[in-house]
């Protein structure tokens, strides 16, 4: 409770709103008591005076001080708005909760009534109510309550279906929690908070609406007065004394703002409590970078033949996101190289940072991500330290990306052909017609039947497999030298998967492009790749030839071994349970000391828990980041390793 209050009080907007409301409440309580008589007593000696030290806003036609009248009107204005909102909320919430009892049909019918009712603005409903009941404060309140009812009914409907169908309530019911306790402990708190937020904001809106009615002359009638009434009286005299209309206007805006600000900060507070709002980068301080100095052996790792200039060279890449409690570091100190034409797989559990790494390399990290690297070179050009936009410009169409979910990766509002054609149109400086022809040809290349017709269609008219092929066509159309495929087959059926993989392989073979294929599925990678990077908790833990995956005893890192062992195949003994890796991947929002896998590793020692291993060349021809590689009888005989380990 204390933490909640202190969190709310940290919002400057909430503090201001509460102070403003405090002023209003004081005025509403005391102003009529103190100035009530003076505000209504006519004074023939001071009729229609302009503003002066004595009458800050001047006086009206009957000689009454407008400032005092404005302050006194606070009570009626506030009471009317609060009453109307509460009546509307009570009726609306009751109405909205009822259909839930009567089943789905009643709910649909009710929803359609509510949405039609909602469409009618306050003013029109109010006018008709005025006709029926005659103008006056009560009428205005009834009218406003009537227009507020449907929005509260809808709120109740969504809330009751959300809470009623929720898992925590089902769980409580199963555990035999009493009905009363179910209601007070689970239902009420979940309904109360959004309702309070809505009531607060509605009072603000109600104040404005009521003042509008009074302004039109259909709300509060003389001799009573609220702010709207005073405004309309002041507007009548606007040529004599403009401030007479401004005074009450300022209070209307002040009060409306106080309520809407309070409602908003309450809502923001609830949202943040649910999701946790990320801190601003300024409060977080600079993004963490890889601690390791540049001269360590991994920078000169021989992961691709040294005689060849690598197409892509990544050294010490770290990615950080602002989180609620500090930087979250999904990728830390990742280094690798890709040779021209090489196909490399990246494998790891979800959350291991494999996609984030590759998206950062392609300069497509989400906004807000802090990407740092000691060295980032592509095709002989240095991208180190460039902004994503600048680096993206350098990359141009030389990096093609195949995204994971083809339905969301294609723009639903644009024709598929257009989405392909814009690449040559922008980069190739070709005409519209020519670009379109290229798009059709590219679609035809990936075996989309009737490509000319299909190019005119929208993504939702394509099947999942076709969309994925269209994405591959899109990554190809700029003739890239590197293709980054992010889980290209995850969203597809097994049969379609094979086709898409074959297509990817063919495209790479034909164009000679290198490729990085990200997947959590070792089997998919085994079909395509020559080499595989194994990632765990944001780091590369092993970098090996793909053939080694078939012989787990030659793999060095315990995690890679566990990963390959957890894959069932046709030879797996069905009578024993499948191998799983015990434990959970670590929480990346906290700094990890030592090897991230240590907590789940059977071979972990004190060293593993204190010192972070970096990938170093290993005897299996790749690299491994482990203090105790498991591929040899005596693991600690490697000379370099003993030094560090001792």
Partner 1 sequence: MTPSTSVSGSRRGGYRWLGFLLRRTGRMLVAMWVIITVAFLVLRMAGGDPVRSALGATADESVVQARREMLGLNDPLIVQYFDYLAGLFRGDLGVSIITGRSVTELVSHRLPATLELAGIAFLVVLLVAVPVGLGIAIITQGNGRRGVETVFTGVTAFIAAIPEYLLGVVLVIVFAITLHAFPVAGRTGPASYLLPVIALSVSAAASISRIARIEALQTLKDDYVRTARSKRLPAWMVYFRHALPNMLTATLTIGGTLLGAMIAGSVLVEQVFNWPGLGMAFVGAITTKDYGIVQGLALVYAAIILVVNLLVDLVLSLLDRRTSLLETS
- Considering CB under 8 A, how many residues would be counted as binding partner 1? 88
Q: Which of 67, 71, 401, 608 binds partner 1 (CB under 8 A)?
A: 401
Beta bridge partners of 623: 543, 617
- How far apart are the C-alpha atoms of 608 and 626, rounded to whole Å? 8
Shortest distance, position 555 Cβ to partner 1, whole Å: 33
Measured distance CA(391)–CA(399) in Å, rounded: 11
Q: Minimum CB separation from partner 1 for residue 388, in Å?
A: 9
Indicate the residue among 339 and 466 with the shorter CB distance to partner 1.
Answer: 466
Residue numbers 91-120 binding partner 1 by CB under 8 A: 112, 116, 118-120
Residues 223-252 contacting partner 1, CB under 8 A: 231, 235, 238-239, 242, 245-246, 249, 252
* Residue 366 C-beta: closest distance to partner 1, Å: 6
Residue 465 interacts with partner 1 (CB under 8 A): yes or no = yes
- Say if CB 630 and CB 558 are below 8 A apart: yes
Binding mask 569-598 for partner 1 (x = CB under 8 A): ------------------------------
463 contributes a contact to partner 1 by CB under 8 A: yes
Specify which residues 401 forms β-bridges with. 484
Residue 264 lies near partner 1 (rule: CB under 8 A): yes
Tokens of 430: 């070709």
Q: How far apart are the C-alpha atoms of 323 and 543, rounded to whole Å?
A: 30
Tokens matching residue 177: 């929690």
Binder of partner 1 out of 474, 532, 534, 626 (CB under 8 A): 474
For residue 250 the two structure tokens come to 């300022």
Q: Rule CB under 8 A: choose which of 327, 336, 403, 559 binds partner 1.
A: 403
Task: Examine residue 130 and tell whether it contacts partner 1 (CB under 8 A).
Answer: yes
- Give how far Cα 172 sits from Cα of 104, 183, 185, 186, 191, Å: 24, 10, 10, 8, 17
Is the CB of 491 or the CB of 626 nearer to partner 1? Answer: 491
- Using the Cα atoms of residue 259, residue 261, residue 267 and residue 269 in order, give the sign of their dihedral: negative
Give the tokens for residue 264.
């908003």
Where helices occur in 41-97 by DSSP H, the ranges are: 66-97
Indicate which single residue of 23, 37, 41, 134 sits in contact with partner 1 (rule: CB under 8 A): 134
The residue among 16, 35, 17 whose CA lies nearest residue 27 is 35
Give 132 or 633: the residue with its C-beta nearer to partner 1: 132
Q: Does the footprint of partner 1 cover residue 364 (CB under 8 A)?
A: yes
Q: Is 427 in the site for partner 1 (CB under 8 A)?
A: yes
Per-residue tokens: 297 = 């052996």
Closest CB 132 distance from partner 1, rounded Å = 5
Q: Exactly one of 281, 341, 428, 635 binds partner 1 (CB under 8 A); which one? A: 281
Q: Show Cβ contacts of residue 142 under 8 Å, excluding neighbours closer than 6 positions.
A: 84, 87, 129, 133
The two structure tokens encoding residue 353: 């940072």
d(CA 601, CA 563): 12
Q: How far is the CB of 162 from partner 1 (least distance, A)?
A: 16
Q: How many CB atoms lie under 10 A from the CB of residue 167?
A: 7
Our finding on whether 178 is near partner 1 (CB under 8 A) is no
Judged by CB under 8 A, does residue 282 bind partner 1?
A: yes
Rounded CA gap, 267 and 199, in Å? Answer: 11
Nearer to partner 1 (CB atom), residue 310 or residue 478 = 478
| Single residue of 297, 368, 582, 591 touching partner 1 by CB under 8 A | 368
Rounded CA-CA distance 40/229 in Å is: 14
Under 8 Å between Cβ of 531 and 620: no
Give whichever of 469 and 618 is closer to partner 1, judged by the CB atom: 469
Residue 132 near partner 1 by CB under 8 A: yes
Residue closer to partner 1 by CB (options 423, 540) is 423
Of 219, 322, 615, 629, the one binding partner 1 (CB under 8 A) is 322
Nearest-angstrom CA–CA distance, 540 and 535:
4
By CB under 8 A, name the one of 156, 338, 466, 546 that touches partner 1.
466
Q: Which of residues 373-392 bind partner 1 (CB under 8 A)?
A: 389, 392
Q: Does 253 contact partner 1 by CB under 8 A?
A: yes
**Nearer to partner 1 among residue 249 and residue 348 (C-beta):** 249
| Stretch near partner 1 under the rule CB under 8 A, chosen from 35-43, 416-424, 539-547, 557-565 | 416-424
* Interface with partner 1, residue 500, by CB under 8 A: no
Interacting residues with partner 1 between 203 and 222 (CB under 8 A):
204, 208, 211-212, 215-218
Q: Does 397 bind partner 1 (CB under 8 A)?
A: yes
Question: Interacting stretch for partner 1, rule CB under 8 A, among 126-134, 337-345, 597-605, 612-620?
Answer: 126-134
Walk across the sheet containing 616-617 and list its strands: 399-402, 482-486, 514-519, 343-347, 531-536, 539-545, 623-624, 616-617
Q: Is 443 helix (H, G, I), strand (E, B) or coil?
A: helix
Among 47, 192, 308, 414, which residue interacts with partner 1 (rule: CB under 8 A)?
A: 414
Q: Which is nearer to partner 1, 392 or 635 (CB)?
A: 392
β-sheet bridge partners, residue 325: none
Smallest distance, Å, CB 289 to partner 1?
Answer: 19
Contact set for partner 1, span 179-208 (CB under 8 A): 204, 208
- For 249, other C-beta atoms within 10 Å of its C-beta total 20
Site string for partner 1, 31-50 (x = CB under 8 A): --------------------
Rounded to whole angstroms, the Cα distance separating 261 from 387 reads 37
- 325 near partner 1 (CB under 8 A): no
Tally of CB atoms within 10 A around 174: 8
From first CA to last CA, the distance across the chain in angstroms is: 50
Site membership for partner 1, residue 73 (CB under 8 A): no
Instruction: Tell me how far, at minimum, the Cβ of 324 lies from partner 1, in Å.
Output: 11
Among residues 105, 179, 433, 460, which is the contact residue for partner 1, using CB under 8 A? 460
Are the CB atoms for 475 and 402 separated by under 8 Å?
yes
How far apart CA 499 and CA 488 sit, in angstroms, is 11
Closest to partner 1 by CB, 396 vs 640, is: 396
Least Å from the CB of residue 311 to partner 1: 18
Applying CB under 8 A, does 139 fall inside the site for partner 1?
Answer: no
Nearest of 484, 474, 471, 498 to residue 406 by alpha carbon? 471
Residues 290-309 that bind partner 1 (CB under 8 A): none
- Residue 426 binds to partner 1 (criterion: CB under 8 A): yes
Name 311's Cβ contacts closer than 8 Å, sequence gap at least 6: 338, 339, 340, 342, 378, 379, 481, 482, 514
Going from the C-alpha of 496 to that of each of 345, 461, 467, 491, the distances in angstroms are: 20, 17, 11, 10
For the bound state, the minimum distance from the C-beta of residue 223 to partner 1, rounded and expressed in Å, comes to 18
Residue 280 in the binding site for partner 1 (CB under 8 A): yes
Nearer to partner 1, 459 or 613 (CB): 459
How far is the CA of 189 from the CAs of 168, 437, 509, in angstroms? Answer: 13, 60, 60
């Amino acid at each position: 409770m204390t933490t909640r209050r202190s969190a709310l009080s940290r919002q400057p907007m909430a503090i201001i709103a509460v102070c403003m409301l405090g002023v209003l409440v004081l005025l509403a309580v005391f102003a009529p008591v103190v100035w009530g008589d003076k505000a209504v007593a006519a004074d023939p000696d001071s009729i229609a005076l302009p503003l002066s030290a004595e009458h800050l806003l001047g006086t009206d036609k009957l000689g009454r001080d407008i400032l005092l009248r404005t302050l006194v009107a606070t009570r009626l204005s506030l009471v009317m708005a609060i009453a109307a909102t509460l009546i509307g909320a009570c009726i609306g919430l009751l109405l909205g909760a009822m259909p839930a009892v009567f089943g789905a049909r009643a709910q649909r019918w009710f929803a359609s009534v509510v949405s039609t009712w909602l469409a009618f603005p306050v003013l029109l409903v109010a006018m008709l109510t005025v006709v029926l009941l005659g103008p006056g404060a009560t009428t205005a309140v009834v009218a406003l309550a009537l227009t507020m009812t449907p929005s509260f009914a809808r709120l109740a409907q969504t809330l009751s279906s959300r809470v009623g169908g929720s898992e925590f309530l089902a769980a409580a019911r199963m555990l035999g929690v009493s009905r009363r306790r179910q209601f007070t402990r689970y239902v009420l708190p979940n309904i109360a908070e959004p309702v309070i937020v809505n009531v607060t904001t509605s009072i603000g809106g109600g104040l404005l609406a009521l003042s509008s009615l009074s302004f039109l002359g259909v709300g509060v009638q003389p001799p009573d007065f609220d702010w709207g009434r005073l405004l309309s009286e002041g507007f009548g005299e606007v040529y004599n004394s403009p401030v007479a209309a401004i005074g009450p206007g300022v209070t209307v805006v002040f009060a409306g703002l106080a309520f809407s600000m309070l409602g908003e900060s309450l809502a923001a507070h609830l949202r943040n409590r649910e999701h946790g709002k990320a801190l601003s980068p300024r409060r977080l301080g600079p993004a963490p970078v890889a601690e390791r100095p540049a001269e360590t052996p991994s920078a000169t790792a021989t992961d691709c033949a040294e005689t060849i200039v690598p197409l892509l060279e990544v050294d010490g890449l770290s990615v950080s996101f602002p989180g609620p409690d500090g930087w979250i570091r999904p990728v830390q100190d990742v280094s690798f190289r890709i040779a021209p034409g090489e196909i490399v797989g990246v494998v790891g559990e979800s959350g291991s940072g494999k996609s984030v790494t590759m998206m950062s390399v392609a300069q497509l990290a989400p906004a807000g991500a802090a990407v740092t690297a000691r060295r980032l070179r592509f095709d002989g050009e240095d991208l180190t330290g460039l902004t994503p936009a600048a680096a993206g410009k350098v990359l141009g169409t030389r990096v093609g990306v195949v995204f994971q979910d083809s339905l969301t990766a294609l723009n639903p509002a644009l024709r598929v052909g257009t989405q392909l054609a814009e690449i040559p149109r922008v980069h190739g400086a070709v005409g519209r017609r020519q670009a379109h022809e290229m798009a059709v040809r590219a679609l035809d290349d990936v075996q989309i039947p009737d490509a000319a017709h299909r190019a005119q269609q929208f993504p939702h008219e394509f099947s999942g497999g076709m969309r994925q092929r269209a994405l591959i066509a899109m990554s190809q159309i700029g003739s890239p030298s590197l293709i980054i495929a992010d889980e290209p087959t995850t969203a597809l059926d097994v049969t379609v998967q094979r086709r898409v993989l074959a297509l990817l392989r063919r495209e790479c073979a034909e164009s000679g492009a290198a490729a990085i294929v990200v997947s959590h599925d070792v089997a998919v990678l085994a079909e395509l790749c020559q080499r595989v990077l194994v990632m765990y908790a944001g780091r590369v833990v092993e970098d090996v030839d793909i053939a080694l995956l078939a012989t787990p005893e030659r793999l060095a890192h315990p995690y890679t071994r566990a990963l390959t062992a957890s894959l069932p195949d046709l030879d797996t003994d069905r009578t024993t349970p499948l191998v799983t890796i015990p434990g959970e991947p670590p929480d990346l929002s906290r700094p990890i000391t030592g090897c991230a896998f240590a907590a789940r590793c059977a071979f972990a020692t004190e060293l593993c828990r204190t010192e972070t291993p970096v990938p170093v060349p290993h005897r299996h021809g790749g690299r491994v980041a482990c203090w105790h590689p498991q591929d040899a009888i005596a693991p600690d005989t490697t000379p370099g390793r003993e030094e560090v380990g001792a």
